Amino acid sequence: MLPYESIKEENSIEKNFCEPLSKCKTYPMDDEMTEIFLSFATSKEENVDVEKAKKNIWQFEAFEKRVNNFLNFTADNRVKIFMVMQTNGVIGKLVMYCYYMQYLCKKNNIKHITWENFSMDFFPNGFFSDEDLKKVWDGQKITKTDTEGKSHLGSDNLLDYQMASKSILF
């Protein structure tokens, strides 16, 4: 576990989450996800029913809230819906991909993730394994006690502390 004080380090998420994840191998999608991927690739963003997604997929709205309230990139709606599907709606995985995409945006000076950036630049070879995601997720956990032994309220996930993400923001 990371020390509680990690939440105050402006590069803590980059150093303790994004960089370790960037060293993990990505894997091709299964046939079902490849089919969905191709259907999004051949569609247009304006043909995506965002209101229906918001109404029927609570994770879509959670993705948008994380990006709008904590991060500062924008993304094609196809990317957002696809990532909800790719992560099977598991909110922890979705949050991890949000931060990782922010890291890639900053690194590549991309403020809006188009379907093309997403598929050709960010994830050209597929996505991370569940095992690697779990390992990196466990690696970003923080203790709830500071160096003086004082216990703190709040999340035990470094990814929930905005100050720790400053180095990956524009």
- Cα 147–chain centre separation: 29
DSSP 87: T
Please determine, for residue 54, whether its predicted confidence score (pLDDT) is greater than 90.
no
Q: What pTM did the predictor assign? A: 0.94
Residue 89 main-chain phi, psi, to 5 deg: 70, 10
Q: What is the pLDDT of residues 129-159, one digit of tens each?
A: 999 999 999 999 999 998 899 999 888 999 9
Percent of the chain whose pLDDT exceeds 90: 85
> What token pair was written down for 39?
């259907």
pLDDT of the residue at 154: 87
